[in-house]
Amino acid sequence: MKKTFEKCLWEDLTIWFGLERLETAQPYFTPLQTLTQVQPHVPASVQEELEKLHKLISRKFLDWNEDELKMQFISPFLFLVDYYESDRYQPFSQRIMQLQTPEIELSGVVEWMLASGKQIPREPFFFLHEYKKEQGTDADPLGQLLAAMITAQHLNTNKNRVLYGCYIVGKDWYFVALQGKQYQNTTNYNVTEFDKLALVFTILQNIKNLI
């Protein structure tokens, strides 16, 4: 059976790979707690730019298509987080990943990820996928993100490494952690609220520490 990332549903992936999905309503399991239980902190050096982005997303999130959301908000936001300060990892965009087992072949283009390597992503750590809105699309944002994370889990040398991801639906950000056969996602972080935007910024900063 062949499946592309964009056609994957989280329920199917859970069955195919024998995963356990921990309900969002449950207490967050340790990897997700480690990622998200942080105190919001915005350095003075980026405060003004973050406030500008907050005003922009608050005005435009209903109007933008996927590329506009990516180029006008997500890209400058990630630039403020600054993932270029370490030689251990760097951002990669629009890279193909593939997993093949006797039963299933998964393949797709990863929108954005942090991974080791210079020209080629080698050991992925964190994935990000974005969408304009949840309604009106046949895609399953969690399924597409999870497909990329499962593929990385099989390709990575350390099979038990915690992998993190995030999918974006307009103004709402959701974080995901996968370790072994268990995964869980957060409820939404609405970045039109500045305190939530500051929290998302801090979580993205925290990924550097976890890597």
DSSP at 6: G
Which pLDDT does position 137 carry in this prediction? 55
Taking the C-alpha atoms of residue 28 and residue 172, their distance in angstroms, rounded to an integer, is 19
Domain residue limits, the chain: 2-181
CB 113 within 8 A of CB 127: yes
Give the pLDDT confidence score for residue 138 in this predicted structure: 61
pLDDT tens digits, the chain, 211 residues: what are they?
A: 899 999 999 999 999 999 999 988 777 889 999 999 999 999 999 999 999 999 999 999 999 999 999 999 999 999 999 999 888 899 999 999 999 988 899 999 999 999 999 999 999 999 999 876 644 456 799 999 999 999 999 988 787 899 999 999 999 999 999 999 999 999 999 999 999 999 999 999 999 999 9
**Predicted TM-score of the model (pTM):** 0.93
d(CA 155, CA 121): 11
3-state secondary structure of 151: helix
Q: What is the pLDDT of residue 45?
A: 95
Length of the chain: 211
Give, for 150, the enclosing helix (H) or strand (E): helix 141-155
Contacts of 71 (CB under 8 A, 6+ apart): none
